[in-house]
Amino acid sequence: MDPLSLLLLPPRARPRIPLLLRPPTAPAAFARAAAAAAPARLLSPASAVAAEAPRTGENPWSGGAEGEEGRFDWLDQWYPVAPVCDLDPRAPHGKTILGLRVVAWYDRTAGDGEWRVFDDACPHRLAPLSEGRIDDKGRLQCVYHGWCFDGRGSCQFIPQAPALGPPVHKNSKACVAAYPSVVQNNILWFYPRAGAEHEDVLQRKRPPFIPEIDDPSFVTVYGIRDLSYGYDVLVENLMDPAHVPYAHKGLMGRLLEFDREGGGPMKMKIEEAGVDGFLSPQENGGYFRYVAPCTFYGSPLPRQEEGEKKKPRIMLVFMCVPVAPGRSRVIWAFPRNVGLWLDKIIPRWYYHIGQNAILDSDIYLLHVEERNFAAAGVENWQKAVYVPTSSDSMVIAFRNWFRKHCKSQVGWAAPTVDQLPATPTKDKLMERYWSHVEQCTSCSAALKAMKALEVALQVAAVAIVGFLTVAKETLVKSVAQRVAVVSAAVLCFAASRWLASFIQKNFYFQDYVHAYK
């Protein structure tokens, strides 16, 4: 299992009947811009930083007068689409982010090539462009009627238009909305406002930058997973270290399977709390920072001081993406400067086995918890839950931020039905293929190879039995030879069955029953 999974995910708070978002009132939906904004090149990286520390002894729920520190603008933010290593440049990729359906595709005609993010709807008949293709000229082609678009969203070709007729493809209505996008820390980000007035947004505002990811002395393991619970539950789950020995029992190793609260409280404090997030220094010298709305990062290990001898360092970086009410996506990046040789022999899909098991172990808990939150009402979180210990500090700080600056609502970028989806059966709730494997190039390649190996082993078993039948009177005469041949057939068949079970558990579904851990 991934050694970094020992430090992974800090989930669920202690609540009984908390609340999630009572889905939001969507801000004005985006205008379908005819003129598309060309993605800008990344300038100098910068990290968003919060300000204004809370007063000592202040009620964490007092929040001050409405609008005292300003409302959080959900549309004036950068959102991660996916790690670039999980985006195939040969095909378009559809994602839902902030309730907005977008398509990411690689424009090879732009200099050295650039990733673009468009509205996932062809202006002709609103067919999804994510089901399209990249044509032989490097354009994004809608496969419904063949309309083609360049990297700025301008329509370049309409097959049905007469060659000698008016150039209807140049009409502004034939263009598709293109959003500013940039690759930073090997992750594709986009800004959810289209139009010429936003094409220079990178000069004013950039995605949070994690220098360790780009440091050549570090290696980074990336991953992505869709989850069946909402954005706010995901964020508070990651900010809660006290749940780890219990919700992930049997997965984290014996070193983490003890009651820290019983042996001594986890001392946490919150600093620099403001509309942009907050900082939480840890008692052992580590820290965690929340950069609203998506990025939560830090390290449980002491920071590297300037001029100090290089220390072993492991960073945990999580990007929490609001997808829709009751749906979220987590993108993770774990940079480290220790055990670099491991990445030369261990494929990324092997790390994901342990990381997905950890996510699976609290999916059902959080899915049900979210519905209890909703039943209590968004405005009653602090009344419905009981969070008396220091280990809940980051959870309280996030809920305070969410209530104070967002009215406990996500500012969806598109009209969104204010309703949580129905609870599916557990195998669908915890399925891995569509939520992770299909989106991960490493896991999907491993699955394809293992399925081929499974078939090869079955064919080999049948072929060996056939060979024994044909050659038992000629080549295989002795009892020992026959036993050896039969044993080989049995081993091939048994290996194929074991491999089938391994594939099912690690790439499709594996239940996690807490009572037996």
Over residues 258-279, the pLDDT tens digits come to: 554 444 456 778 999 999 999 9
Q: State yes or no: pLDDT of 368 exceeds 80.
A: yes
Q: 254 and 338: one domain?
A: yes
Q: 135 and 277: one domain?
A: no
Per-residue model confidence (pLDDT) at position 512 = 83
pLDDT bucket at 391, cuts 50 / 70 / 90: confident
Q: Is residue 152 in some structural domain?
A: yes
Q: 405 and 458: one domain?
A: no
Q: State yes or no: pLDDT of 10 exceeds 50.
A: no
Residues of the chain above pLDDT 90, percent = 53
Q: How far is CA 21 from the centre of its chain?
A: 20
The domain boundary residue, chosen from 417, 434, 459: 417
Q: 379 and 466: one domain?
A: no
Where residue 242 sits, what CATH number does that domain have?
3.90.380.10
Q: 343 and 250: one domain?
A: yes
The domain boundary residue, chosen from 204, 237, 270: 204
Q: Is residue 59 in some structural domain?
A: no
**Spatial distance between the Cα atoms of 78 and 249, rounded to a whole number of angstroms:** 35
Where residue 169 sits, what CATH number does that domain have?
2.102.10.10
pLDDT bucket at 7, cuts 50 / 70 / 90: very low
Domain holding 187, by residue range, is: 79-204
Q: 190 and 320: one domain?
A: no
The structure tokens listed for 367 are 């899915």
The domain boundary residue, chosen from 156, 184, 204: 204
Q: 369 and 458: one domain?
A: no
Q: Is residue 7 in some structural domain?
A: no
Peptide bond preceding 293 in cis form (omega within 30 of 0): yes
Q: State yes or no: pLDDT of 417 exceeds 50.
A: yes
* Residue pLDDT, tens place only, 419-450: 888 888 888 999 999 999 999 999 999 999 99
- pTM for this structure? 0.82
Name the average pLDDT for the chain.
81
Count H helices, E strands: the chain?
A: 11, 18
Q: 227 and 363: one domain?
A: yes
Q: 215 and 361: one domain?
A: yes
Q: State yes or no: pLDDT of 46 exceeds 80.
A: no
* Residue pLDDT, tens place only, 106-141: 999 988 899 999 999 999 999 999 999 999 999 999
Once rounded to an integer, what is the mean pLDDT over residues 47-60? 32
- Any idea what the Cα angle at residue 258 is, between residues 252 and 263, rounded to 5°? 145
Q: State yes or no: pLDDT of 14 exceeds 70.
A: no
Helix 231-238 vs helix 393-406: crossing angle, to nearest 10:
150
Q: 160 and 271: one domain?
A: no
Per-residue model confidence (pLDDT) at position 450 = 97
Q: State yes or no: pLDDT of 142 exceeds 90.
A: yes
Residue 463 amino acid letter:
A
Q: 272 and 381: one domain?
A: yes
Q: State yes or no: pLDDT of 24 exceeds 80.
A: no
Once rounded to an integer, what is the mean pLDDT over residues 359-375? 91
Buried b / exposed e along 491-516 (16+ C-beta atoms within 10 A): ebbebbeebeeebeebbebbebeeee
Query: Among 207-216, 264-273, 282-291, 399-408, which is the least confidently predicted range?
Result: 264-273
Q: 476 and 393: one domain?
A: no
Per-residue model confidence (pLDDT) at position 473 = 64
More confident residue, 35 or 494: 494
Q: Is residue 122 in some structural domain?
A: yes
Q: Is residue 372 in some structural domain?
A: yes
Q: Is residue 457 in some structural domain?
A: yes
Per-residue model confidence (pLDDT) at position 459 = 94
Q: Is residue 56 in some structural domain?
A: no
| Three-state DSSP state, 20 | coil
Q: Is residue 151 in some structural domain?
A: yes
- Measured CA distances, 372 to 19, 403, 431 (Å): 6, 18, 22
Per-residue model confidence (pLDDT) at position 414 = 86
Strand ranges, E, within 228-345: 271-274, 277-281, 287-291, 295-299, 316-324, 327-336
**Spatial distance between the Cα atoms of 88 and 103, rounded to a whole number of angstroms:** 12
Q: How many CA atoms lie within 13 A of 225 on its CB side?
A: 28
Once rounded to an integer, what is the mean pLDDT over residues 493-511? 94
* Residue pLDDT, tens place only, 307-349: 666 778 889 999 999 999 999 999 999 999 888 888 889 999 9
Q: What is the DSSP letter of 468?
A: H
How many domains are there within the chain?
3
**Spatial distance between the Cα atoms of 169 and 38, rounded to a whole number of angstroms:** 19
pLDDT bucket at 84, cuts 50 / 70 / 90: very high
Among 395, 357, 366, 372, which residue's Cα sits nearest to residue 242? Answer: 395
